[in-house]
A and B are shown apart, each in its own frame.
Chain A
């Protein structure tokens, strides 16, 4: 069963990658604004120190408990999702329904963001919270169909077996491209990152996070990077052949592939403007959802005729 060391290693890796993602994000911002690039590497530390020292605050009449649980729930969900991320040969706990577990943890973000936004008792927070629900309703179904397509292809809901099913043949990213793209979009969806950050958008002065200060803000913003990282890490066994790769040992390939997915997402976050929710909802339901259903059908047929 689980050894605490495995858990610690996994969580430290998660933290390390998240830190790198936050740094890279600051780096891109500094590059855009012509500020000093070298400062980016220490920026998350400095921000962390700032928030640790800062006074906590609440809005009068707000639901403190709700907001605080919400902001702590975000990192908690991300860390719990690490449970099924395969590390080397095995995940911390290779659940037979790993895919479902991952899905469940990621949906906790809905609750967390809504709780923080509503609990803030500020119009910005309330608008942001409801925007996130609308976003969730839009990305979640294509996301689930993408996961199911992968599971059909591997005939398993166990993450390691999904990775193993791609050994010696084409990676799922190539055999099911629509599912892969939708999965990448939905990572940005549930970590409200880049084009999908409308729930904490600048037009609503930070939305759900607008009234957070101090350690609550640290947990919330940190949790967001953790979610982005754990989503990227799961893309590797799902779509990128797990630890398959030449020369280097398997764990090295896992880390390299995770870093690559994460880098792409961070870059996209800076390269693309946000998408307004009412426009995304339509595209998501009318393009992404049918695309993933057709993808699932295609993969089921491949499975039946024995190509997978």
Chain B
């Protein structure tokens, strides 16, 4: 693919140029910024992903989107039937979203 070539080439030129003009080739290894105090521990920790329920609802929808792209191309041929089916399916998913909302999934902290 030509464009990929162009893109990679441009990035290589950028990084190459930088390495040519950079003030020093040593990569500075330092502590993470902590407002001027020493770091107590590494930051990569098990992060409390409080929106994981949103992620699950999202995955449900995202699967559905995979069907929707081909559906787009056949709407005209298949007519009302496919529209009704698709939006009935979406209505079920929206019902799930409303339920999730009532359970407070979209509010966190």
Contacts and interface: CB of A to CB of B under 8 A. Distances in A.
Q: Tell me, yes or no, whether A and B come into direct contact in the complex with CB atoms closer than 8 A.
A: yes
A75 B80 contact: no
A3 interface: yes
B2 A11 contact: no
B14 A218 contact: yes
A152 interface: yes
A137 B58 CA distance: 6
Contacts of A80: 3-4, 7
A214 B24 CA distance: 11
A290 B2 CA distance: 40
B75 A290 contact: no
A211 B39 CA distance: 14
A8 interface: yes
Contact of A219 (B11, B24, B87, B101): B11
Interface stretch (A24-32, A122-130, A182-190): A122-130
B6 A215 contact: no
Contacts of B83: 297, 300-301, 304
Interface residues of A, number: 76
Interface residues of B, number: 62
Nearest to B20: A52
A252 interface: no
Contacts of B6: 4, 7-8, 11, 79
A208 interface: no
A68 to B, nearest CB: 9
Instruction: Identify whether the interface residues of B are mostly helix, strand, loop, or mixed.
Output: helix
A79 to B, nearest CB: 4
Nearest to B31: A60
Interface in B15-51: 15, 17-19, 21-24, 26-34, 42-45, 47, 49, 51
A205 B49 CA distance: 21
A57 B54 contact: no
A156 interface: yes
Contact of A148 (B27, B47, B65): B65
Interface stretch (A195-203, A237-245, A277-285): A277-285
A57 B31 CA distance: 10
Given A72-B11, A120-B32, A134-B51, A152 B72 contact: yes
A289 B29 contact: no
Contacts of A82: 3
Given A79-B10, A121-B43, A126-B43, A215 B18 contact: yes
B66 to A, nearest CB: 10
Interface string A118-160: 1011111110001001100110110010001001100111000
Contacts of B61: 141
Given A79-B6, A285-B106, A97 B28 contact: no
B33 A205 contact: yes
A134 B72 contact: no
B69 A148 contact: yes
Contact of B90 (A62, A100, A293): A293
A303 interface: yes
A4 B4 CA distance: 11
Given A126-B47, A157-B73, A52 B24 contact: no
30 contacts: A4-B6, A11-B6, A52-B21, A54-B22, A54-B23, A57-B28, A58-B27, A58-B28, A62-B44, A72-B15, A80-B7, A83-B1, A92-B3, A97-B69, A122-B43, A123-B34, A123-B43, A137-B51, A140-B58, A148-B69, A151-B69, A151-B72, A205-B33, A211-B33, A214-B18, A219-B14, A285-B57, A285-B106, A286-B97, A301-B83
